[in-house]
Amino acid sequence: MAQDDKRTSTDQGAESVPPEYADMTPLPRSGRDVPVSEEAPEAPGAAEPETPSRPEPPADPVPIPDQSTGPVPEARARRSSGFVPLFLGGVVAAALGFGASWYLGQQNGTLDLASELGARDETITGLDQRLSEIEAQTEALAEGPDLTPLQQELEAATSASADTSARIDALQTELGDTLASFGDRLDQLDDRLTNVEQRPEADGSLSEEAVAAYEREIAALREETAQAVEGLNARAAEIEERFAGLTEEVSTRLEEIRSEAEAIEEDTEAAAARAAAAAALSDIRAAIENGAPFTEALTALQATGAVETPEALAANAEEGVPSLAALRDRFPDAARSALAQARADEEGGGMGAFFTRQLNVRSVEPREGDSADAVLSRAGAAVEQGRLADALAELQDLPDDAQEPLTDWISAAETRIAARDAVETLTQDVTSN
């Protein structure tokens, strides 16, 4: 009885399964699906391996209804309901398929946009970090070099020069005093000699020994005086030579210090100009990404004098350049217009081509081929991925008549590419110097 109940429940479950899944028999559950508690400790040597439970027998297959039974005439009666329901069902299925394809395309575009925004945020973060490093270096350079050792050396040289001058003056004074002393002594000797010469002996004559002694003394004093004068002159010449050399050395060192200070000042000004230019370029890049004007940032860049302003930036500073998001929004309408123009130039194709031209259906997924629809599908995919240069290259393969509706979009894309390339070139010039 229990087995009959089990089969009855199985049959009921099989009847509730949709027909398209009726051939999927559920897999039997084994004992491995039962979770084992991790908290129960194992007694060493007492546990025995579990015996896997025997799998349950599969459910009874769904009985195939006998085609000879009564419901067959009802099914035949439904089939004979006519062509209109089948046509309406096909239209609904086509609409659902087109809606699902469009929704998935929008989802993929959203994911690509999110990833690109994330990459752009990472790029801006890296540039902000680079700008912070440049500003830190500029602040360090703005403090200027430490000239204290050079100033101390200059003061020491000046002091030594003053000491040398004082010593020369002292030597000259000493030499003058010595010469004056010698002169006084000579005058005294001359007076004594004169007195001796004028002093007569008892018999009225001078002693020859006294005269010779005085003459020897006078000659010795003259020799001593000459040697002293010669030594003083030699010392004075040496001091003057040393003073001249020291003066020249101090002048040379002062000139070197002045040149080094000027070079450091120029480097500091150049570094500050590069930092200001990098900051202005960062503001211009942000404005280009957002499609905003950047007149103030361009003026700040020109004020630095670090780089020359390219025409691609000067011509679009007041109004800004189209953002990537704006170009993405404008491309579908322009592409449909271009596709309609290309299809209008085509001839023939039967009813399918006629309905295609009337509905103006455009492929949103990239596909191979030389047709206008294939070219526009690849260009659209490149635009969604931010590859504007590749998109412009694809659009060159369109006929001239089909390119005419895309003229404004192509011009806007070229303006954005030129502005971004100019910013990248200027950034490399600023950071490489």
Phi-psi region of 348 (alpha: psi -120 to 50; beta: other; left: phi over 0): left
Q: Are residues 215 and 154 in the same domain?
A: yes
| pLDDT at position 99 | 61
Residue 105 lies in a domain: no
Q: Which residue has the tokens 């018999």?
A: 203
Of these ranges, 37-46, 193-202, 236-245, the one predicted with the greatest mean pLDDT is 236-245
Q: Which tokens sit at 335?
A: 């592409």
In this predicted structure, the answer to whether residue 357 has a pLDDT above a threshold of 60 is no
Q: Are residues 149 and 261 in the same domain?
A: yes
Q: Are residues 152 and 241 in the same domain?
A: yes
Task: Give the percent of the chain with pLDDT over 90.
Answer: 29
Residue 182 lies in a domain: yes
Residue type, 417: I
In this predicted structure, the answer to whether residue 5 has a pLDDT above a threshold of 50 is no
Q: Are residues 255 and 329 in the same domain?
A: no
Of these ranges, 23-37, 66-80, 184-198, the one predicted with the greatest mean pLDDT is 184-198
Q: In terms of Cα–Cα distance, which of 277, 307, 285, 288 is closest to 135?
A: 277
pLDDT band at 105 (very low <50, low <70, confident <90, very high): low
Which carries the bigger pLDDT value, residue 361 or residue 422? 422
Per-residue pLDDT reduced to its tens digit, 294-337 = 999 999 999 988 788 899 999 999 999 999 999 999 999 999 99
Quick one: how far is CA 410 from the chain centroid? 29
Q: Are residues 155 and 244 in the same domain?
A: yes
Q: Residue 223, class by beta-carbon neighbours within 10 Å (0-12 exposed, 13-18 middle, 19+ buried)?
A: exposed
Q: Residue 134, class by beta-carbon neighbours within 10 Å (0-12 exposed, 13-18 middle, 19+ buried)?
A: buried
Q: Are residues 193 and 267 in the same domain?
A: yes
pLDDT band at 405 (very low <50, low <70, confident <90, very high): very high
Of these ranges, 12-16, 80-84, 161-165, the one predicted with the greatest mean pLDDT is 161-165
Task: Give the percent of the chain with pLDDT over 70.
Answer: 60
Residue 337 lies in a domain: yes
pLDDT band at 100 (very low <50, low <70, confident <90, very high): low
Range of the domain at 169: 142-271
| pLDDT at position 20 | 39
In this predicted structure, the answer to whether residue 223 has a pLDDT above a threshold of 80 is yes
* 362-367: average pLDDT: 78
Q: Which of 110-114, 367-371, 419-423 has the lowest mean pLDDT?
A: 110-114
Q: Are residues 149 and 245 in the same domain?
A: yes
* 391-402: average pLDDT: 91
pLDDT band at 49 (very low <50, low <70, confident <90, very high): very low
Residue 303 lies in a domain: no
Residue 58 lies in a domain: no
Q: Which tokens sit at 143?
A: 């403090």
What is the number of structural domains in the chain? 2
| pLDDT at position 410 | 95
Residue 428 lies in a domain: no
Tell me how far apart the alpha carbons of residues 289 and 420 are, in angstroms, rounded to a whole number.
Answer: 9
Which carries the bigger pLDDT value, residue 2 or residue 172? 172
Residue 72 lies in a domain: no
Q: Are 312 and 292 in contact (CB under 8 A)?
A: no
Domain end call among 236, 255, 271: 271
Residue type, 279: A
| pLDDT at position 11 | 40
| pLDDT at position 50 | 39
Kindly give, in sequence order, each residue whose CB lies less than 8 Å from that of residue 359, ignoring residues fewer than 6 positions away.
none
Q: By 3-state DSSP, what share of the chain in percent is helix, strand and coil, each rounded to 5?
A: 75, 0, 25
Sign of the CA dihedral 148, 151, 157, 159? negative
Q: Are residues 159 and 255 in the same domain?
A: yes
Which carries the bigger pLDDT value, residue 175 or residue 215? 215
Q: Are residues 267 and 373 in the same domain?
A: no
pTM score: 0.43
Residue 221 lies in a domain: yes
**Residue 41 three-state SS:** coil
Tell me how far apart the alpha carbons of residues 228 and 332 are, in angstroms, rounded to a whole number.
Answer: 110
* 47-73: average pLDDT: 40
Q: Are residues 152 and 267 in the same domain?
A: yes
Virtual CA dihedral for 292, 295, 296, 299, nearest 10 degrees?
Answer: 150
Query: 318 to each of 287, 314, 397, 419, how far by Cα in Å?
Result: 11, 8, 34, 13
Q: Are residues 260 and 330 in the same domain?
A: no
| pLDDT at position 367 | 86
Tell me how far apart the alpha carbons of residues 96 and 88 are, in angstroms, rounded to a whole number.
Answer: 12
In this predicted structure, the answer to whether residue 178 has a pLDDT above a threshold of 60 is yes
| pLDDT at position 94 | 65
Q: Are residues 148 and 219 in the same domain?
A: yes
Which carries the bigger pLDDT value, residue 245 or residue 362? 245
Q: How many CA atoms lie within 13 A of 84 on its CB side?
A: 1
Per-residue pLDDT reduced to its tens digit, 111-158 = 555 676 677 678 778 777 877 777 676 666 555 556 676 667 667 767
Tell me how far apart the alpha carbons of residues 369 and 378 are, in angstroms, rounded to a whole number.
Answer: 10
